[in-house]
């Protein structure tokens, strides 16, 4: 998957925990998809191995960011 400059130079370093296979899993089979005000798409999926919700953000079909979302864990809990 193509990535943005931000992903390569900031997000990957700031949030090294999510595995690339988890990112692909969430994009392929999201629990929920949300369009942000800036046009980016957020995909959410629960990662059983980590017991956390993973948010994957795409901008123009490029990977922009991905991180474990504590807000959704509080809101949705664990499936």
Interval 3-47: pLDDT, tens: 999 999 999 999 999 999 999 999 999 999 999 999 999 999 999
The yes-or-no verdict on residue 75 having pLDDT over 90 is: no
Domain that holds residue 52: 5-76
What confidence tier does 79 reach under pLDDT thresholds 50, 70, 90? confident
The yes-or-no verdict on residue 77 having pLDDT over 90 is: no
Query: Positive or negative CA dihedral for 5, 72, 77, 27?
Result: negative
Which pTM value belongs to this model? 0.93
Buried b (16+ CB within 10 A) or exposed e, 44-59: bbbbeeeebbbbbbbb
User: How many domains are contained in the chain?
Assistant: 1
Q: What's the pLDDT at 78?
A: 86
The yes-or-no verdict on residue 73 having pLDDT over 90 is: no
């Amino acid at each position: 998957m193509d990535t943005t400059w931000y992903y390569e130079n900031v997000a990957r370093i700031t949030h090294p925990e999510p595995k690339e296979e988890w990112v692909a899993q969430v994009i392929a089979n999201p629990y929920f998809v949300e369009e942000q005000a800036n046009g980016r798409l957020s995909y959410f999926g629960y990662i059983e191995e980590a017991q956390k919700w993973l948010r994957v953000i795409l901008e123009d079909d490029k990977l922009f960011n991905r991180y474990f979302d504590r807000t959704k864990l509080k809101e949705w809990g664990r499936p």
